[in-house]
Amino acid sequence: MRIAAWLITLWALAGTAGAQTAPPAAPTRKVSAEERERLYDAMDYWDEQRERYGRIAKRANELQPRRRDTPLRDVNISDDEIREVQVIKEQYLPTDYVNISPVVSDCPCEEGPTCTAQVYVVATLNGKERGLQLSRLNQQWQVGVVQQWWLKFQAVQRQRTGDSFLDYLLYQKAVNDLYEEFPRCVGKLVPAQHSAAAKTPEPAR
Are residues 145 and 165 both part of a single domain? no
In a domain, 145, yes or no: yes
36 in any annotated domain: yes
Q: Count the domains in the chain.
A: 2
Edge-to-edge order in the sheet of strand 140-143: 97-100, 115-125, 128-137, 140-143
Q: Is residue 205 part of a domain?
A: no
SS3 189: coil
Residue 185 lies in a domain: yes
Q: Measured in Å, how far apart are the chain's first and last C-alpha atoms?
A: 25
172 closest CA partner among 23, 40, 55, 83: 40
Of 74, 96, 133, 111, nearest in space to 190 by CA: 111
Q: Is residue 107 part of a domain?
A: yes
> 52 with 113, same domain?
no
Do both 182 and 131 map to the same domain? no
pLDDT at 127: 80
| Domain span including residue 176 | 2-19+31-62+157-196
Confidence of residue 190 (pLDDT cuts 50, 70, 90): very low
Q: Is 45 within 8 Å of 179 (Cβ atoms)?
A: no
What is the rounded distance in angstroms from the CA atom of residue 187 to the CA atom of residue 18? 28
What integer best gives the mean pLDDT of the chain? Answer: 83
Predicted local distance difference test score (pLDDT) of residue 201: 44
The verdict on 146 and 161 lying in the same domain is: no
Decide if 99 is inside a domain: yes
Residue 193 pLDDT: 45
| CA–CA gap between residue 69 and residue 10 (Å, rounded) | 30
pLDDT given at position 156: 96
Name which residue leads in pLDDT, 15 or 70: 70
The pLDDT of residue 205: 44
Are 163 and 144 in a shared domain? no
Residue 172 in any domain: the answer is: yes
CA distance 112 to 66: 19
In a domain, 204, yes or no: no
Is 161 found in the same domain as 147?
Answer: no
**142 and 88 in one domain?**
yes
Kindly list the distances between the CA atom of residue 116 and the CA atoms of 90, 107, 134, 140, 141, in Å, as whole numbers in the listed order. Answer: 23, 7, 11, 10, 10
Same-domain check for residues 47 and 111: no
DSSP-based three-state secondary structure for 30: coil
Assess whether 9 and 45 both reside in one domain: yes
* Residues written for the chain: 205
Q: Same structural domain for residues 136 and 90?
A: yes
Task: Kindly state whether residues 36 and 9 are assigned to the same domain.
Answer: yes
